Amino acid sequence: MDRYAVIGNPIEHSLSPEIHQTFAKQTGRLMDYVRLLSAPEQFIPKVREFFASGGKGLNVTYPFKQQAFLLVAKYSERAAQAKAVNTLWRLPNGSLYGDNTDGIGLVRDISINRGMCLKNKTILILGAGGAVRGILGPLLAELPAQITVANRTLEKTQQLAQEFAIKIILGPNFFGSRDEKYDVIINCTPVPLRNHLVTSATELFYEINYQHVHDDGFGMLVEQAAESFWLWHGVRPNTVPLQVLRFK
């Protein structure tokens, strides 16, 4: 049976196996999809071993997406923008290819499942970690009026501003700034900031981290998984049966 997996640390909470198995059933496939826990120093050998023993495709999650980017021989344009990959497979010559489906997953969740067009919207992103790297390119491609990034650590935001067309807010304003009005706020930190930042102008406050199927981040997870599934199997699964769990 074809083998797939998601690798990360921690990994036991990951819902990717259930999501990919739902897609497999839907499209008439039989496959294995397991969770792989890796210590930081074991990441590269584990990935190599997975593919050397016949593994077909690997999803990469926290905290290994940037390491995975450095490991692959070739990558997509969107992975190059993010400098992070979450989807790996082997090319016919045996080398590894990496793609990043996080950003398109977020954009599809907002635009299709929530029915919100991001064109001309003002967007505030909280945080400047690996997840933000993955989503900035696809968000900018939707032609928002402006993307502002607010983060605790100045250096990370400055680095992002060199690579992407964003405006930055520095740490001291992070929690308190309600001076500017944003249509969309996307929280990419683990800190619960909704009550500090939502104003009457906020059309959408989106938490990308998830704990439960009712969380926004679950919607993004399902959509990024669907994109990975399509890259691996050449079939686009229907995400609606999983998305309805969220709005129940």
Contact map string, positions 58 to 97, toward ligand ATR, x by CB under 6 A: ----x-----------------------------------
- Name which of 22 and 189 has its Cβ closer to ligand ATR: 189
- Binding test (CB under 6 A) with ligand ATR, winner from 106, 188, 213, 242: 188
When asked if residue 228 is in the footprint of ligand ATR (CB under 6 A), the reply is no
- Name which of 36 and 131 has its Cβ closer to ligand ATR: 131
Q: How far is the CB of 195 from ligand ATR (least distance, A)?
A: 15
When asked if residue 190 is in the footprint of ligand ATR (CB under 6 A), the reply is yes
Strand order of the β-sheet with 31-37 is 31-37, 2-8, 57-60, 87-90, 96-99, 74-75
- Name which of 83 and 156 has its Cβ closer to ligand ATR: 156
Bridge pairing between strands 146-150 and 167-169: parallel
- Name which of 45 and 190 has its Cβ closer to ligand ATR: 190
Q: Please give the size of the binding site for ligand ATR, defined by CB under 6 A.
A: 15
Q: Catalytic site residues?
A: 65
- Name which of 157 and 243 has its Cβ closer to ligand ATR: 157
Q: How far is the CB of 126 from ligand ATR (least distance, A)?
A: 8
How many of the other CB atoms lie within 10 Å of CB of 185? 24
* Cα–Cα distance for residue pair 34/124, rounded to 1 Å: 35
Contact 81, 141 (CB under 8 A): no
Per-position b or e across 154-183, b if 16+ CB within 10 A of its CB: eebbeebeeebebebbeeeebeeeeeeebb
What beta strand segments (E) does the chain contain? 2-8, 31-37, 57-60, 74-75, 87-90, 96-99, 122-126, 146-150, 167-169, 184-187, 204-207
CA atoms within 13 A on the CB side of 69: 20
Q: How far is the CB of 28 from ligand ATR (least distance, A)?
A: 34
Among residue numbers 111 through 170, which ones bind ligand ATR (CB under 6 A)? 127-132, 151-153, 156
Residues that bind ligand ATR (CB under 6 A): 62, 127-132, 151-153, 156, 188-191
